[in-house]
Chain A
Amino acid sequence: MDGIPNAAVAPPALDDDGWEVAGLRFRSRLIVGTGRYKDLEETGRAIDASGAEIVTVAVRRVNLGDPKAPMLQDYVDPKRYTYLPNTAGCFTAQDAVRTLRLAREAGGWNLVKLEVLGPPPFLYPDMRATFEALEALLKDGFQVMVYCSDDPIAAKRLEEMGAVAVMPLGAPIGSGLGIQNPVMIRAIIENAKVPVLVDAGVGTASDASQAMELGCDAVLMNSAIAHAKDPVRMARAMKAAVEAGRQAFLAGRMPRQYVADPSSPLGGLIR
Protein backbone atom coordinates (compact mmCIF):
# COMPACT_ATOMS: atom_id res chain seq x y z
CA MET A 1 0.00 0.00 0.00
CA ASP A 2 2.99 2.31 -0.31
CA GLY A 3 3.38 4.92 -3.01
CA ILE A 4 1.85 8.27 -3.71
CA PRO A 5 -1.65 8.65 -2.28
CA ASN A 6 -4.19 8.80 -5.04
CA ALA A 7 -6.52 11.73 -4.55
CA ALA A 8 -9.25 9.89 -6.42
CA VAL A 9 -9.51 7.22 -3.73
CA ALA A 10 -9.13 9.48 -0.68
CA PRO A 11 -12.01 9.04 1.78
CA PRO A 12 -14.71 11.44 0.64
CA ALA A 13 -15.89 12.19 4.17
CA LEU A 14 -12.77 14.25 4.77
CA ASP A 15 -14.13 16.99 2.51
CA ASP A 16 -17.30 17.31 4.55
CA ASP A 17 -17.06 19.34 7.72
CA GLY A 18 -20.27 18.01 9.21
CA TRP A 19 -23.23 20.04 10.38
CA GLU A 20 -24.47 21.73 13.48
CA VAL A 21 -27.79 21.79 15.26
CA ALA A 22 -28.58 23.54 18.53
CA GLY A 23 -24.86 24.23 18.99
CA LEU A 24 -23.92 20.54 18.68
CA ARG A 25 -21.65 19.40 15.88
CA PHE A 26 -22.11 16.09 14.04
CA ARG A 27 -20.15 14.39 11.29
CA SER A 28 -22.82 11.97 10.20
CA ARG A 29 -25.68 13.47 8.23
CA LEU A 30 -27.85 10.45 8.78
CA ILE A 31 -30.25 10.32 11.71
CA VAL A 32 -31.92 6.99 12.25
CA GLY A 33 -34.97 5.84 14.14
CA THR A 34 -34.77 2.91 16.52
CA GLY A 35 -38.25 1.46 15.92
CA ARG A 36 -39.69 -1.39 13.89
CA TYR A 37 -36.69 -3.74 14.09
CA LYS A 38 -37.05 -7.47 14.66
CA ASP A 39 -35.44 -7.14 18.09
CA LEU A 40 -33.14 -4.89 20.08
CA GLU A 41 -30.05 -6.80 18.99
CA GLU A 42 -30.79 -6.08 15.33
CA THR A 43 -31.56 -2.46 16.23
CA GLY A 44 -28.11 -2.09 17.74
CA ARG A 45 -26.31 -3.66 14.79
CA ALA A 46 -28.18 -1.67 12.14
CA ILE A 47 -27.59 1.61 13.93
CA ASP A 48 -23.92 0.82 14.29
CA ALA A 49 -23.72 0.11 10.54
CA SER A 50 -25.51 3.37 9.67
CA GLY A 51 -22.76 5.46 11.24
CA ALA A 52 -25.47 7.69 12.72
CA GLU A 53 -24.61 9.82 15.73
CA ILE A 54 -28.19 10.82 16.52
CA VAL A 55 -31.00 8.31 17.02
CA THR A 56 -34.65 9.05 17.52
CA VAL A 57 -36.43 7.30 20.37
CA ALA A 58 -40.03 7.12 21.53
CA VAL A 59 -41.38 7.57 25.04
CA ARG A 60 -43.83 4.96 26.29
CA ARG A 61 -45.22 3.52 29.49
CA VAL A 62 -42.99 1.00 31.22
CA ASN A 63 -44.45 -2.51 31.12
CA LEU A 64 -45.20 -2.99 34.83
CA GLY A 65 -45.66 -6.72 34.32
CA ASP A 66 -42.12 -7.13 33.02
CA PRO A 67 -39.94 -4.45 34.65
CA LYS A 68 -36.71 -6.34 33.96
CA ALA A 69 -37.32 -6.59 30.20
CA PRO A 70 -34.26 -5.48 28.20
CA MET A 71 -34.28 -1.79 27.46
CA LEU A 72 -33.19 0.14 24.40
CA GLN A 73 -30.31 1.67 26.38
CA ASP A 74 -28.79 -1.79 26.77
CA TYR A 75 -28.37 -2.07 22.98
CA VAL A 76 -28.09 1.55 21.85
CA ASP A 77 -25.74 3.23 24.27
CA PRO A 78 -26.88 6.76 25.18
CA LYS A 79 -23.23 7.65 25.84
CA ARG A 80 -22.34 6.82 22.25
CA TYR A 81 -25.44 8.17 20.51
CA THR A 82 -27.35 11.38 21.03
CA TYR A 83 -30.90 10.33 21.87
CA LEU A 84 -33.47 12.51 20.15
CA PRO A 85 -36.81 11.84 21.85
CA ASN A 86 -39.79 12.16 19.54
CA THR A 87 -43.50 12.62 20.00
CA ALA A 88 -44.55 9.89 17.59
CA GLY A 89 -48.12 8.88 18.23
CA CYS A 90 -49.12 12.32 19.54
CA PHE A 91 -52.14 13.82 17.85
CA THR A 92 -52.52 16.90 20.06
CA ALA A 93 -50.17 19.68 21.12
CA GLN A 94 -50.85 18.88 24.77
CA ASP A 95 -49.83 15.22 24.43
CA ALA A 96 -46.69 16.19 22.55
CA VAL A 97 -45.59 18.69 25.19
CA ARG A 98 -46.36 16.26 28.03
CA THR A 99 -44.40 13.50 26.29
CA LEU A 100 -41.34 15.66 25.77
CA ARG A 101 -41.33 16.88 29.35
CA LEU A 102 -41.17 13.25 30.43
CA ALA A 103 -38.47 12.58 27.83
CA ARG A 104 -36.39 15.45 29.17
CA GLU A 105 -36.63 14.02 32.66
CA ALA A 106 -35.78 10.50 31.46
CA GLY A 107 -32.86 11.62 29.35
CA GLY A 108 -31.67 14.79 30.96
CA TRP A 109 -31.33 16.97 27.86
CA ASN A 110 -33.33 19.56 25.94
CA LEU A 111 -32.90 18.57 22.30
CA VAL A 112 -36.08 16.93 21.05
CA LYS A 113 -38.04 16.13 17.92
CA LEU A 114 -41.57 17.46 17.76
CA GLU A 115 -44.16 15.86 15.55
CA VAL A 116 -47.89 16.33 15.89
CA LEU A 117 -49.71 14.19 13.41
CA GLY A 118 -53.03 14.33 11.66
CA PRO A 119 -55.18 11.22 11.41
CA PRO A 120 -54.45 8.02 9.49
CA PRO A 121 -54.06 7.01 6.75
CA PHE A 122 -51.57 9.78 5.95
CA LEU A 123 -50.37 10.93 9.39
CA TYR A 124 -49.62 14.23 7.70
CA PRO A 125 -48.19 16.86 10.06
CA ASP A 126 -50.90 18.88 11.81
CA MET A 127 -49.24 22.26 11.52
CA ARG A 128 -51.66 24.21 13.68
CA ALA A 129 -51.10 21.82 16.57
CA THR A 130 -47.38 21.76 15.78
CA PHE A 131 -47.12 25.56 16.11
CA GLU A 132 -49.00 25.43 19.39
CA ALA A 133 -46.77 22.71 20.81
CA LEU A 134 -43.60 24.44 19.59
CA GLU A 135 -44.58 27.65 21.35
CA ALA A 136 -45.10 25.82 24.65
CA LEU A 137 -41.86 23.84 24.32
CA LEU A 138 -39.78 26.93 23.53
CA LYS A 139 -41.19 28.71 26.58
CA ASP A 140 -40.17 25.67 28.59
CA GLY A 141 -36.55 25.84 27.39
CA PHE A 142 -36.50 23.03 24.84
CA GLN A 143 -34.40 22.95 21.67
CA VAL A 144 -36.84 21.67 19.10
CA MET A 145 -36.33 19.98 15.74
CA VAL A 146 -39.71 20.04 14.04
CA TYR A 147 -41.31 17.55 11.67
CA CYS A 148 -43.40 19.59 9.27
CA SER A 149 -45.33 19.72 6.05
CA ASP A 150 -43.51 20.48 2.81
CA ASP A 151 -44.76 24.06 3.00
CA PRO A 152 -42.11 26.80 2.73
CA ILE A 153 -44.30 29.30 4.59
CA ALA A 154 -44.92 26.95 7.49
CA ALA A 155 -41.24 25.96 7.62
CA LYS A 156 -40.17 29.62 7.70
CA ARG A 157 -42.63 30.33 10.47
CA LEU A 158 -41.23 27.46 12.55
CA GLU A 159 -37.75 28.90 12.09
CA GLU A 160 -38.88 32.40 13.06
CA MET A 161 -40.56 31.02 16.17
CA GLY A 162 -37.27 29.43 17.24
CA ALA A 163 -37.14 25.85 15.93
CA VAL A 164 -33.51 24.67 15.76
CA ALA A 165 -34.20 22.59 12.63
CA VAL A 166 -37.09 22.08 10.23
CA MET A 167 -37.82 18.60 8.95
CA PRO A 168 -40.29 18.42 6.08
CA LEU A 169 -41.58 15.05 4.96
CA GLY A 170 -40.50 13.62 1.61
CA ALA A 171 -43.58 11.36 1.61
CA PRO A 172 -45.91 9.99 4.31
CA ILE A 173 -44.27 8.33 7.33
CA GLY A 174 -43.29 4.74 6.65
CA SER A 175 -44.49 4.90 3.01
CA GLY A 176 -41.09 4.44 1.40
CA LEU A 177 -42.29 6.43 -1.61
CA GLY A 178 -39.17 8.57 -1.87
CA ILE A 179 -38.98 12.34 -2.26
CA GLN A 180 -42.31 13.27 -3.81
CA ASN A 181 -41.84 17.00 -3.51
CA PRO A 182 -38.30 17.97 -4.51
CA VAL A 183 -39.35 21.44 -5.63
CA MET A 184 -40.88 22.35 -2.26
CA ILE A 185 -38.03 20.73 -0.30
CA ARG A 186 -35.64 22.84 -2.30
CA ALA A 187 -37.71 25.96 -1.68
CA ILE A 188 -37.60 25.29 2.07
CA ILE A 189 -33.82 24.82 1.95
CA GLU A 190 -33.28 28.03 -0.01
CA ASN A 191 -35.30 30.01 2.51
CA ALA A 192 -33.92 28.47 5.68
CA LYS A 193 -31.27 29.70 8.09
CA VAL A 194 -31.58 26.61 10.29
CA PRO A 195 -30.74 23.05 9.21
CA VAL A 196 -33.28 21.37 6.95
CA LEU A 197 -33.70 17.60 7.10
CA VAL A 198 -35.92 15.35 5.07
CA ASP A 199 -37.77 13.29 7.65
CA ALA A 200 -40.05 10.50 6.45
CA GLY A 201 -40.61 9.03 3.03
CA VAL A 202 -37.17 7.69 2.17
CA GLY A 203 -37.48 4.16 0.77
CA THR A 204 -34.08 3.28 -0.57
CA ALA A 205 -30.55 4.59 -0.93
CA SER A 206 -31.16 6.75 -4.00
CA ASP A 207 -33.91 8.63 -2.11
CA ALA A 208 -31.42 9.53 0.60
CA SER A 209 -28.91 10.69 -2.00
CA GLN A 210 -31.59 12.77 -3.68
CA ALA A 211 -32.44 14.51 -0.41
CA MET A 212 -28.79 15.35 0.11
CA GLU A 213 -28.33 16.48 -3.50
CA LEU A 214 -31.18 18.92 -2.98
CA GLY A 215 -29.05 20.49 -0.25
CA CYS A 216 -30.51 19.04 2.93
CA ASP A 217 -28.24 19.20 5.95
CA ALA A 218 -29.18 15.67 6.95
CA VAL A 219 -31.76 12.95 6.45
CA LEU A 220 -33.86 11.17 9.05
CA MET A 221 -35.21 7.70 8.41
CA ASN A 222 -36.38 4.58 10.18
CA SER A 223 -38.52 2.18 8.14
CA ALA A 224 -36.28 2.30 5.07
CA ILE A 225 -33.63 0.55 7.13
CA ALA A 226 -35.72 -1.41 9.62
CA HIS A 227 -38.07 -2.86 7.00
CA ALA A 228 -35.41 -3.76 4.45
CA LYS A 229 -34.89 -7.51 4.06
CA ASP A 230 -31.38 -7.03 5.43
CA PRO A 231 -31.50 -3.97 7.70
CA VAL A 232 -27.80 -3.98 8.55
CA ARG A 233 -26.81 -3.96 4.89
CA MET A 234 -29.37 -1.25 4.11
CA ALA A 235 -27.99 0.82 6.98
CA ARG A 236 -24.58 0.61 5.32
CA ALA A 237 -26.15 1.57 1.98
CA MET A 238 -27.84 4.60 3.53
CA LYS A 239 -24.58 5.75 5.10
CA ALA A 240 -22.90 5.62 1.69
CA ALA A 241 -25.90 7.23 -0.04
CA VAL A 242 -26.02 10.18 2.34
CA GLU A 243 -22.29 10.75 1.93
CA ALA A 244 -22.54 10.42 -1.86
CA GLY A 245 -25.47 12.81 -2.04
CA ARG A 246 -23.66 15.36 0.09
CA GLN A 247 -20.52 15.12 -2.03
CA ALA A 248 -22.58 15.51 -5.20
CA PHE A 249 -24.27 18.58 -3.73
CA LEU A 250 -20.92 20.12 -2.79
CA ALA A 251 -19.44 19.21 -6.17
CA GLY A 252 -22.30 20.95 -7.98
CA ARG A 253 -24.02 18.94 -10.66
CA MET A 254 -23.52 19.63 -14.34
CA PRO A 255 -26.17 21.69 -16.09
CA ARG A 256 -29.05 19.82 -17.64
CA GLN A 257 -29.61 20.21 -21.36
CA TYR A 258 -31.99 18.55 -23.71
CA VAL A 259 -29.57 17.70 -26.52
CA ALA A 260 -26.41 15.60 -26.70
CA ASP A 261 -22.99 17.04 -25.99
CA PRO A 262 -20.31 14.48 -26.85
CA SER A 263 -17.72 13.62 -24.24
CA SER A 264 -14.96 12.81 -26.72
CA PRO A 265 -13.44 15.57 -28.86
CA LEU A 266 -14.76 15.70 -32.40
CA GLY A 267 -11.39 16.94 -33.72
CA GLY A 268 -8.71 14.47 -34.85
CA LEU A 269 -11.09 11.82 -36.09
CA ILE A 270 -9.64 9.40 -38.59
CA ARG A 271 -10.93 9.81 -42.08
Chain B
Amino acid sequence: MPPAPGFATFRDMEDTIEITVNGEARDIPAPATIADLLTRIGLDTRKVAVERNLEIVPRSTYAATALAAGDRLEIVHFIGGG
Protein backbone atom coordinates (compact mmCIF):
# COMPACT_ATOMS: atom_id res chain seq x y z
CA MET B 1 0.00 0.00 0.00
CA PRO B 2 1.50 3.37 -0.95
CA PRO B 3 2.05 5.76 1.93
CA ALA B 4 -0.84 8.06 2.62
CA PRO B 5 -0.36 11.68 1.57
CA GLY B 6 1.36 13.67 4.23
CA PHE B 7 3.32 10.69 5.56
CA ALA B 8 6.98 10.59 4.83
CA THR B 9 8.31 7.39 3.31
CA PHE B 10 10.95 5.44 5.20
CA ARG B 11 13.47 6.62 2.64
CA ASP B 12 12.65 10.26 3.23
CA MET B 13 12.96 9.83 6.95
CA GLU B 14 16.56 8.70 6.65
CA ASP B 15 19.17 11.39 6.86
CA THR B 16 21.43 11.37 3.88
CA ILE B 17 24.66 13.18 3.24
CA GLU B 18 26.37 13.92 -0.01
CA ILE B 19 29.96 12.83 -0.40
CA THR B 20 32.28 12.47 -3.38
CA VAL B 21 33.75 9.05 -4.08
CA ASN B 22 36.37 8.73 -6.81
CA GLY B 23 35.17 11.97 -8.29
CA GLU B 24 31.46 10.96 -8.33
CA ALA B 25 28.85 12.60 -6.09
CA ARG B 26 26.92 10.08 -3.97
CA ASP B 27 24.14 10.36 -1.44
CA ILE B 28 24.56 7.92 1.40
CA PRO B 29 22.44 7.25 4.49
CA ALA B 30 23.90 8.84 7.59
CA PRO B 31 25.39 8.13 9.98
CA ALA B 32 27.83 5.93 8.09
CA THR B 33 31.43 4.90 8.49
CA ILE B 34 34.03 4.11 5.85
CA ALA B 35 33.42 0.41 6.56
CA ASP B 36 29.69 0.90 5.87
CA LEU B 37 30.44 2.64 2.59
CA LEU B 38 32.81 -0.09 1.41
CA THR B 39 30.24 -2.77 2.26
CA ARG B 40 27.56 -0.79 0.45
CA ILE B 41 29.72 -0.53 -2.69
CA GLY B 42 30.66 -4.20 -2.37
CA LEU B 43 34.42 -3.92 -1.99
CA ASP B 44 36.81 -6.28 -0.27
CA THR B 45 38.49 -4.06 2.32
CA ARG B 46 41.66 -6.14 2.19
CA LYS B 47 42.35 -5.13 -1.41
CA VAL B 48 41.76 -1.40 -1.34
CA ALA B 49 43.10 1.75 0.27
CA VAL B 50 41.10 4.81 1.18
CA GLU B 51 42.02 8.47 1.28
CA ARG B 52 39.61 10.90 2.91
CA ASN B 53 40.08 14.62 2.27
CA LEU B 54 43.69 13.95 1.23
CA GLU B 55 44.47 11.96 4.40
CA ILE B 56 45.07 8.22 4.38
CA VAL B 57 42.52 6.30 6.41
CA PRO B 58 44.27 3.33 8.05
CA ARG B 59 42.41 0.07 7.38
CA SER B 60 42.14 -0.61 11.11
CA THR B 61 40.04 2.54 11.55
CA TYR B 62 37.44 2.01 8.77
CA ALA B 63 34.73 0.97 11.22
CA ALA B 64 35.41 3.91 13.50
CA THR B 65 35.69 6.65 10.89
CA ALA B 66 32.37 8.43 10.40
CA LEU B 67 31.68 10.11 7.09
CA ALA B 68 30.64 13.75 6.99
CA ALA B 69 28.81 15.74 4.35
CA GLY B 70 31.20 17.03 1.73
CA ASP B 71 33.86 14.39 2.34
CA ARG B 72 36.00 13.63 -0.67
CA LEU B 73 37.09 10.02 -0.82
CA GLU B 74 39.48 8.18 -3.06
CA ILE B 75 39.23 4.40 -3.05
CA VAL B 76 42.09 2.75 -4.93
CA HIS B 77 43.54 -0.67 -5.61
CA PHE B 78 46.47 -2.21 -7.45
CA ILE B 79 46.17 -2.74 -11.16
CA GLY B 80 48.61 -3.88 -13.80
CA GLY B 81 51.29 -1.32 -14.48
CA GLY B 82 54.95 -0.87 -15.35
Contacts and interface: CB of A to CB of B under 8 A. Distances in A.
Contact of B81 (A40, A56, A68): A56
A interface SS class = mixed
Given A64-B21, A67-B42, A98-B51, A103 B81 contact: no
A58 B49 CA distance: 13
A60 B79 contact: yes
A60 B76 CA distance: 5
A187 interface: no
B75 A103 contact: no
- Counting chain B CB atoms within 10 Å of each CB, the highest count among A71, A102, A222 belongs to A102
- Counting chain B CB atoms within 10 Å of each CB, the highest count among A67, A71, A222 belongs to A67
B78 A59 contact: yes
B76 A62 contact: yes
B47 interface: yes
Given A67-B41, A67-B42, A67-B43, A62 B48 contact: yes
Contacts, number: 106
Given A62-B43, A102-B51, A33 B78 contact: no
A257 to B, nearest CB: 40
Given A56-B82, A64-B41, A67-B42, A106 B77 contact: yes
Contact of B78 (A73, A98, A101, A220): A73
A86 interface: yes
A104 to B, nearest CB: 8
Contacts of A37: 80
B78 A72 contact: yes
14 contacts: A33-B81, A33-B82, A34-B80, A43-B80, A56-B81, A57-B78, A58-B79, A58-B82, A59-B77, A61-B75, A62-B43, A62-B75, A71-B79, A88-B81
Given A71-B78, A101-B56, A104-B56, 19 more contacts: A35-B79, A36-B80, A40-B80, A59-B49, A59-B79, A62-B41, A62-B48, A64-B21, A64-B24, A67-B43, A72-B80, A73-B78, A103-B49, A105-B57, A105-B58, A106-B48, A200-B82, A220-B82, A222-B81
